[in-house]
Structure formats: C-alpha cells, structure tokens
Amino acid sequence: MKEIWIIDDDDEMAQAISLMLKVLDYQSKHFNHPRPAAQLLLSGKRPDLMILDINMPEVTGLDMLEFMRRRSEWKRLPVIMLSSEAADVMVDKAMKLGADGYVMKPVTIEELEKAMAQAFYKHIER
C-alpha cells in the first residue's frame, strides 16, 4: 500500500485528507511541520507522494519543496501543493519550484484523486 505524507499545520484539514486517502486505499502520515518530515527524508525514509501545505509558520511548503528539489534523490518524489490561495502567482511559483500538482482548500476527494493520479503519472519511469 502506498504511503502519502501530509505536511500541514491545520490538524482538521490533515485529518480530512487522511480520511480521503484511506477511502482511496492509501496509508498516510501527518506532520504538523516540515522539519520532522525533512529529518525522515534525510534518514533515508520517503513516502510515495507528499501533500504539502504552502502557508505554514517558520518553514513554508514552498521552502520545503525547494529544499527537496535541490537534492537529486528527491527530484522524482511526487509533490502536490495544498493551499487556500488561488493566486496565479502562487500556483506558478509552486510549479516552477517543481510541484507536480496544486489543489485548493477545502479539497474534495475527486480533486485529490485526480491530482494524485497526475502526479504519479509524471514520475513513471519511461
């Protein structure tokens, strides 16, 4: 079963996404802050896909995405950005940094499933 990491400081949103993932037959792990997820990545553990909230205190989702994309071993890790901001500038910035998808809060199960399918497809070995 594929494991999805949710990095979001909003516990209610993370719980809702975790429930959606369970319905879609995925395991999930929630982090309230990017730092513990980064530490796990550095220790060699990695999810099959990451859902990363943009607006978090101290270290933003964009900071985490940029950190990940600088390392060759995580360039092909599918990442979907999650935000309450729909501004084209924010979406463009996330995509330029290497995001594979962008979903708006509150996300529906259909939107999440579609974004995940697209993100996984982008990283299929060809």
Domain spans in the chain, listed from the N-terminal domain onward: 7-122
Contact status, residue 28 vs residue 6, Cβ threshold 8 Å: yes
Instruction: Return the axis-axis angle of helices 11-23 and 109-122, rounded to nearest 10°.
Output: 70
pLDDT tens digits, 28-76: 999 999 999 999 999 999 999 999 999 999 999 999 999 999 999 999 9
Is residue 102 pLDDT above 80, yes or no? yes
Task: Report pLDDT for 85.
Answer: 80
CATH code for the part of the protein at 7-122: 3.40.50.2300
pLDDT tens digits, 4-20: 999 999 999 999 999 99
User: Within 10 A of 80 (CB to CB), how many other CB atoms are there?
Assistant: 22
Model confidence at 123, pLDDT cuts 50, 70, 90, reads confident
Task: Report pLDDT for 125.
Answer: 63
Average pLDDT over residues 1-5: 96
Task: Report pLDDT for 88.
Answer: 82
Is residue 21 pLDDT above 70, yes or no? yes
pTM, two decimals, is 0.95
